[in-house]
Structures are given as C-alpha cells and as structure tokens.
Amino acid sequence: MKKIEINLYPYTSDKDKGFLKLIEKYFPIALLAFFVLIAINIILFLIIIFSYLPYNNLSKNWKKLSPQATTISSLKEELKSLKDKKEKYQELLSSKIEVSHIFADIFTSLPKNIWLEEINFSNGFMGFVGYVVEWKEDYSVSINKFIKNLKEKDYFFNTFKYINPKRNVKMKLAGREIMKFEVECKSSK
C-alpha cells in the first residue's frame, strides 16, 4: 500500500524537503560535536592557566629575592677575595722570612755601579731586574761581585740557597752603554 502524503504547504519543493530532512538527521551530531569542542577548549584553557600560575608565583618570588641574590653573590666574591688575602698573609707568616733583613742584605751587597729596577718575591722565590754601568770594572764582573756579596750574607744565603744570573742585555741609556740583568734566587731547586 502506498502512503498518502498531504501537503499543507504546497509551495515547498522536494529539494527543500531533502534539506530539512538532512538537518533533522545530523543536527544532534553537530550539536554534540559543538559542545565537545567547547569542552575541549575550556579544558585546555584551564590547563594553561593552572600551568602558568606556578610560573607566575616563581616570577614574583624571583623579583622579590633578586636584590638579595645579588647581595649574596657579591658577598661570596668578597669572601673569596678575603680568603685569598688570608692565604697570602698566612703564607708570608708561615715562611717566617724577615723581608727587612733581606732588603738590608741586598742593599749592602750592591756595588756602586748597580741599581735595581724591580724585585719580585713569592713562595720561596725572589727575582731581581737591575742595571749595571761600566765603572772601574766590566759589567759581568760587577754582576758576579753582587751575587758573591749576596752569597756571603748569612741570612740571605740561608733563605735563598740558589742564586743564579738569568739574562743580560746591553742597551743605551742617556748616551751611555749599560747592561740590563736578571738574577733568580730560590730557596730550593
């Protein structure tokens, strides 16, 4: 038996009816998909907010504590430099070398034609840089005389057992020929 259809609105076409049937068929699925997408977006939004909160709190704490961190790092650097100074002072005190006695021995050992430009002292090592001018004797004789005089000084020689010339270079100063020399003194080899 054939169905009887009564068209109460005669002006609608079959094309419009197909479209309405399509909407009626897929509307619940589309509505469900729309709500699922909104729920996913809300969940992602909440995840982002909750993951940002600890970072925000840490950022605020860092801003509060950064001046203190700067102060602490500067105090650490100052403490390190003070420890280095302390070690140097202990090194000087532990070696028990009377520097004034050493300088007195050096001064009394200098011949009249030698002057010193630089004296370096550290950890059982002393180095001299000086100049010698030829006066009544040769350059090398004056340098050897200086080293011999240092070896004859009891305190200096007990402190520095090894006294050796390192380097000699001739040069001119104010129109006169002079020799620049270096002497190395060590307490042990």
Q: Are 91 and 99 in contact (CB under 8 A)?
A: no
> Is the same domain home to 63 and 89?
yes
> Is the same domain home to 81 and 112?
no
pTM value is 0.48
Q: Which domain holds residue 128?
A: 99-186
Segment 41-49 long-range contacts (CB within 8 Å, at least 24 positions apart): none
* Count of domains observed in the chain: 2
> Is the same domain home to 106 and 174?
yes
pLDDT category at 187 given cuts 50, 70, 90 is confident
Instruction: Give the CATH number of the domain where residue 113 resides.
Output: 3.30.1360.100
pLDDT at 106 over 70: yes
> Which of 96, 119, 153 is the endpoint of a domain?
96
> Is the same domain home to 122 and 168?
yes
How big, in percent rounded to 5, are the helix, strand and coil portions of the chain?
A: 60, 20, 20
pLDDT at 61 over 70: yes
Q: Within a domain: residue 7?
A: no
Sheet of strand 114-122: strand arrangement: 114-122, 125-133, 176-186, 162-173
> Is the same domain home to 113 and 180?
yes
Average pLDDT, the chain: 85
The whole-angstrom separation of Cα 133 and Cα 148 is 18
> Is the same domain home to 181 and 125?
yes
> Is the same domain home to 86 and 123?
no
